[in-house]
Structure 1
Amino acid sequence: MSRVALPHDAKAGPTKPEVRAVLLQKLGLGPDDHFVEVGSCTGAVTVGAARRAGRVTALERKPDRLETTERNLAANDVAADVDLRAAEAPDGLPDDADALFLGGSRNYEAVLDHAVETGVDRVVMNVSRLEVAGAATEAFRERDLLDEVVQFQVSHGYELAGATSFDSDNPVYMLVGGAGGDGEEVAADGDSVGGESR
């Protein structure tokens, strides 16, 4: 699969490639899935999802960022039907999503309520601030959505005095679950790989 091209800047960093790889594996998107993204920003996740899911709905409340999503989407090969919406969630959320990603924490409780009400199978939220991660974990638990919390950090090597040193990215907390409640882990191809969550 080709890399995601992001020639247009949204004045906010995209979800890092390594984080996107884990995110897409956790979502386990397949060609029959309707994926919904809240906060598309650069469109990096939108593109990755559109290469796997049959339909994609991406919401972005800032018009300039939605335009960036559209332009970056056009710079990549995607086969999915993509609907870009200028909306602040939960407004604009469809009722038939199979998988949902929250790329930011704005209005996340209302988005989680919508996910429960509409039975979204897979829900993933990325958080970089510790306090928000704690509150969001509780919000997932209160709604019986939480399967797991994953914390990871990526470091990139660079040359320093003829050797390799590392710069680390901000840690990411990834909350994973869904209203389906069956606790099955999903593989990248959409098939379940285990009977219980870890």
Structure 2
Amino acid sequence: MPPIALPHDAKAGPTKSEVRAVVRSKLALGAADHFAEVGSCTGAVTIEAAQRAGRVTAVERTADRLETTEKNLAANEESIVADVELRNAEAPAGLPDDADALFLGGSRNFEAVLDHAVETGVDRIVMNVSRLEVAGRATEAFRERDLLEEVVQFQVSHGYELAGATSFNSDNPVYMLVGSATPDSDDERDEGEKVAADGNGGATQ
């Protein structure tokens, strides 16, 4: 799928494309999924989710950023397959009760958002954090709610020409928390991975 277009600026950098690739992998969205996002901002994650999920609910507390989300969605309308609803609210207000997957792109009220995820049984939860202190608090919040599956820290560097050679500029590191409020589903996914690893779905040779 071609890169998404983000012609409109939210005066806040979008989640970088390399980071979004990892988010996509962890969320594993399908056509039957209802995806919810907290802090849509430029709409980068919203758009990529709307190219894969059946329904998308994006919550953004800042009205002008929500307008930017809407404009960038329109710029990618040919690739959108989901029913998309944008809500101007401060999460957990505005979050649906039937989301299958949830992405937290901001750290405001994240404890209350995680409580909502537990109450409504969200299957896949991903939170991105760029500040170390917030990452620590978020990790504890995931653990306290028995949500935490893994914490991933990664950093991307982009090359540029320097004196006829290639040097690199590094982006800020990202801490990604991955979890689930449906442990039974986690067990099913683990079993599926074991079957796939065996090859041929366990068929007799």
TM-score when scaled to structure 1? 0.93
Alpha-carbon contact 1:49-1:56 (below 8 Å) kept: yes
Among 120, 130, 133, the residue aligned to 1:131: 133
State the AA in 1 paired with 2:68.
T
Tell me the alpha carbon deviations over residues 90-119 of structure 1, each in whole angstroms, 9 at most, x when there is no partner. 101110000000001000000000000000
Task: Give the secondary-structure state (helix, strand or coil) at the position aligned to 1:159.
Answer: strand
CA RMSD of aligned residues (A): 1.7
Task: Give the secondary-structure state (helix, strand or coil) at the position aligned to 1:167.
Answer: strand
CA positional deviation for 1:11: 0.1
Task: Give the secondary-structure state (helix, strand or coil) at the position aligned to 2:7.
Answer: coil
Among 143, 147, 164, the residue aligned to 2:166: 164
For residues 1-198 of structure 1, the aligned pairs below 5 Å read: 1-76=1-76, 77-182=79-184, 183=186, 192-194=192-194
CA positional deviation for 1:193: 2.8
Tell me the alpha carbon deviations over residues 12-62 of structure 1, each in whole angstroms, 9 at most, x when there is no partner. 000000000000100000000000000000000000000110000000000
CA positional deviation for 1:184: 5.3
Task: Give the secondary-structure state (helix, strand or coil) at the position aligned to 1:193.
Answer: helix
Task: Give the secondary-structure state (helix, strand or coil) at the position aligned to 2:133.
Answer: helix
Alpha-carbon contact 1:184-1:194 (below 8 Å) kept: no
Aligned pair in 2 of structure 1 residues 140, 18: CA closer, same or farther (>3 Å)? same
Please, which runs of 5 or more residues in structure 2 have no aligned partner?
196-205
Task: Give the secondary-structure state (helix, strand or coil) at the position aligned to 2:73.
Answer: helix
Give me the whole-angstrom Cα distance separating, in 2, the residues matched to 1:160 and 1:51: 38
Instruction: Work out which structure has the larger RCO, using CA pairs closer than 8 Å and 6 or more positions apart in sequence.
Output: 1
CA positional deviation for 1:181: 1.5
Task: Give the secondary-structure state (helix, strand or coil) at the position aligned to 2:48.
Answer: helix
Give me the whole-angstrom Cα distance separating, in 2, the residues matched to 1:163 and 1:95: 53
Aligned residue pairs: how many? 192
State the AA in 2 paired with 1:177.
G
Identical-pair percentage = 79
CA positional deviation for 1:192: 4.8
TM-score when scaled to structure 2? 0.90
Larger radius of gyration: 2
CA positional deviation for 1:70: 0.2
Aligned pair in 2 of structure 1 residues 34, 194: CA closer, same or farther (>3 Å)? farther
State the AA in 2 paired with 1:90.
P
Tell me the alpha carbon deviations over residues 56-93 of structure 1, each in whole angstroms, 9 at most, x when there is no partner. 00000001000000000011121110000000001011
Aligned pair in 2 of structure 1 residues 178, 90: CA closer, same or farther (>3 Å)? same
State the AA in 2 paired with 1:193.
E
Give me the whole-angstrom Cα distance separating, in 2, the residues matched to 1:194 and 1:140: 26
